[in-house]
């Protein structure tokens, strides 16, 4: 009996020992699993902390590189924080928005035009999940403007806006460039609206970018046309022959490059031109050289403006200043200036200075009236203009006195024949009561350089010969001589 009990107890103890072993094993497995899980979680936390620290460092580096200022605004408390670029932490500025100084950052005064915008940003927050951007102008005390771009991002919790994170960027330089560009575009638009034609050329490549006449594009970049004066002729644009020399340098790529390198960036050339067989008109071609930012190529931009009416007005005013109003001949001042210049240009060349005086002019006025006298003076001017070349100087010196300067005469005999032909023309003049062969002139001649090489010397000696002709009976021509009058 006892033996059986002992066996049962022993059997129970063995069975309990087995269960205990199993339980212990399971417990150990659970502990190991828990340790593994905690280790994994701890490693994840460490990695997350490391990533956070790395992000913070990146954030700090990014802050240091930014020229902008970052701030946070707590909507509930009204506290404003400026983010310190060194630490990345917020520095509280104020806990009451109404106590904000007139400037947030730089002691700048917000321009009145933008004050309402500035206030609305903080006082009337409109929740938005997209960034809000505003531009405001600050009027600095010295009168200069500063422009700021404000960008705001709202932080929400359960659809409630808690904070505003903002970036303040100084865009003054960009705004100045934008305004300058706008003004330049406005000026260019106004300028081109009056343009007769516009030409743009890539000087570096010597290719025409565009040629426009009015609103029509005659040549485009796609045409791949080399810049040359012949291009204009091919499109019925003809430059007046006497003005071609003026524009040869302007339409030559190599010379334009030289001009650019020497600092000459602007050209202005008045010239005569006709388009599509119309009459010649005066235009002013204004051109600029500049660098194309993307390629570095030299660009030539020219616009042509019609100045025909202006030029004609200038000629009229110049003519009035230079011409005698009665006869249309040069006046004394203009004649002296032109003759002086010709004496310099043709120094040493044989030329003639002729003085003419109408005989008995007072009697014509007294007998036939001043209208008849004026008529005779105009007729004499017509005879003089018909007798000499267009580049000789013919002038009315005043009253009934005239002057002619002939450059490059072959001989004195040639001169005397010209004088005889001229005298015959005077004899053909007639008017009511004034018969032909009635009008005569007394003439004095000085030869350059024999009798002087300045206007004053020639005028004096020709006048002396004229006086001698008068004293010998009028209606004759005499050449001045130091010893005797021929």
pTM: 0.48
Report yes or no on 57 lying in a domain. Answer: yes
Report yes or no on 344 lying in a domain. Answer: yes
Q: Please indicate, yes or no, whether residues 239 and 129 belong to a single structural domain of this protein.
A: no
pLDDT for position 90:
46
Range of the domain at 245: 196-311
Report yes or no on 190 lying in a domain. Answer: no
Is residue 364 within 8 Å of 434, Cβ to Cβ?
Answer: yes
- 28 or 53: which leads in pLDDT: 28
- CATH number, position 169: 3.30.450.20
pLDDT for position 384:
92
Report yes or no on 461 lying in a domain. Answer: yes
| pLDDT single digits (tens) 82-116 | 665 555 454 444 444 433 433 443 344 455 555 55
Q: Please indicate, yes or no, whether residues 453 and 343 belong to a single structural domain of this protein.
A: yes
Query: What share of the chain has pLDDT > 70, as a percent?
Result: 76
Q: Please indicate, yes or no, whether residues 294 and 205 belong to a single structural domain of this protein.
A: yes
Q: Please indicate, yes or no, whether residues 416 and 464 belong to a single structural domain of this protein.
A: yes
Distance separating alpha carbons of residues 477 and 287, to the nearest angstrom: 55
Q: Please indicate, yes or no, whether residues 431 and 410 belong to a single structural domain of this protein.
A: yes
Q: Please indicate, yes or no, whether residues 352 and 462 belong to a single structural domain of this protein.
A: yes
Report yes or no on 285 lying in a domain. Answer: yes
Q: How many CB atoms are closer than 10 A to CB 310?
A: 13
Report the DSSP pairing between strands 351-358 and 401-406. antiparallel
Q: Please indicate, yes or no, whether residues 54 and 114 belong to a single structural domain of this protein.
A: no
Q: How many domains does the chain have?
A: 4
Mean pLDDT, to the nearest integer, of 233-250?
82
Q: Please indicate, yes or no, whether residues 424 and 329 belong to a single structural domain of this protein.
A: yes
Distance separating alpha carbons of residues 327 and 394, to the nearest angstrom: 11
Report yes or no on 186 lying in a domain. Answer: no
Q: Please indicate, yes or no, whether residues 361 and 439 belong to a single structural domain of this protein.
A: yes
Mean pLDDT, to the nearest integer, of 399-423?
89
Report yes or no on 372 lying in a domain. Answer: yes
Distance separating alpha carbons of residues 8 and 390, to the nearest angstrom: 157
Q: Please indicate, yes or no, whether residues 343 and 459 belong to a single structural domain of this protein.
A: yes
Q: Please indicate, yes or no, whether residues 164 and 149 belong to a single structural domain of this protein.
A: yes
Q: Smallest Cα–Cα separation from 286: which of 403, 200, 364? A: 200
343: Cβ contacts below 8 Å, ≥ 6 apart: 351, 448, 453, 454, 455
Question: Which string of DSSP letters, residue by residue, matches 24-48?
Answer: HHHHHHHHHHHHHHHHHHHHHHHHH
Q: Please indicate, yes or no, whether residues 267 and 358 belong to a single structural domain of this protein.
A: no
- 359 or 214: which leads in pLDDT: 359
């Amino acid at each position: 009996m006892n033996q059986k009990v002992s066996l049962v107890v022993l059997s129970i103890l063995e069975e309990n020992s087995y269960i205990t072993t199993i339980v212990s094993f399971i417990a150990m497995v659970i502990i190991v699993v828990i340790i593994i899980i905690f280790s994994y979680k701890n490693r994840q936390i460490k990695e997350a902390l490391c990533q956070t620290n790395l992000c913070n460092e990146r954030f700090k580096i990014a802050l240091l590189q930014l020229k902008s200022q970052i701030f946070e605004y707590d909507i509930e408390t009204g506290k404003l924080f400026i983010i310190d670029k060194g630490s990345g932490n917020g520095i509280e500025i104020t806990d009451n928005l109404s106590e904000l100084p007139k400037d947030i950052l730089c002691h700048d005064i917000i321009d009145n035009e933008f004050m309402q915008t500035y206030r609305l940003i903080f006082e009337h927050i409109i929740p938005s999940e997209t960034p809000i951007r505003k531009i405001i102008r600050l009027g600095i005390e010295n009168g200069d403007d500063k422009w700021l771009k404000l960008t705001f991002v709202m932080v929400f919790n359960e659809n409630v806006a808690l904070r505003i994170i903002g970036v303040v960027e100084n865009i003054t330089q960009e705004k100045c460039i934008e305004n300058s560009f706008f003004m330049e575009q406005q000026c260019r638009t106004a300028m081109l609206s009056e343009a007769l034609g516009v030409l743009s050329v890539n000087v570096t490549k010597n290719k025409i970018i565009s040629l426009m006449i009015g609103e029509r594009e005659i040549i485009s970049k796609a045409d791949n046309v080399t810049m040359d004066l012949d291009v204009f002729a091919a499109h019925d644009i003809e430059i007046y022959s006497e003005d071609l020399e003026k524009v040869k340098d302007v339409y030559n790529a190599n010379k334009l490059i030289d001009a650019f390198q020497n600092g000459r960036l602007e050209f202005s050339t008045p010239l005569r031109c006709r388009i599509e067989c119309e009459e010649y008109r005066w235009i002013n071609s204004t051109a600029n050289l500049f660098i194309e930012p993307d390629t570095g190529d030299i660009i030539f931009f020219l616009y042509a403006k019609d100045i025909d009416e202006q030029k004609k007005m200038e000629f009229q005013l110049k003519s009035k200043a230079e011409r005698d109003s009665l006869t249309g001949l040069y006046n004394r001042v203009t004649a002296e200036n032109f003759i002086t210049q010709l004496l310099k240009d043709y120094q040493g060349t044989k030329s003639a200075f002729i003085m003419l005086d109408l005989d008995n002019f007072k009697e014509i006025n007294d007998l036939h009236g001043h209208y008849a006298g004026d008529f005779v003076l105009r007729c004499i001017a017509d005879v003089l203009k018909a007798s000499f070349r267009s580049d000789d100087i013919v002038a009315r010196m005043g009253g009934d006195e005239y002057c002619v300067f002939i450059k490059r005469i072959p001989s004195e005999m040639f001169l005397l024949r010209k004088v005889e032909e001229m005298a015959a023309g005077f004899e053909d003049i007639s008017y009511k009561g004034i018969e032909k062969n009635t009008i005569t002139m007394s003439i004095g001649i000085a030869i350059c350089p024999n009798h002087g090489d300045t206007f004053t010397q020639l005028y004096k000696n020709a006048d002396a010969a004229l006086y001698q002709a008068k004293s010998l009976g009028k209606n004759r021509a005499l050449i001045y001589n130091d010893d005797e009058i021929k």
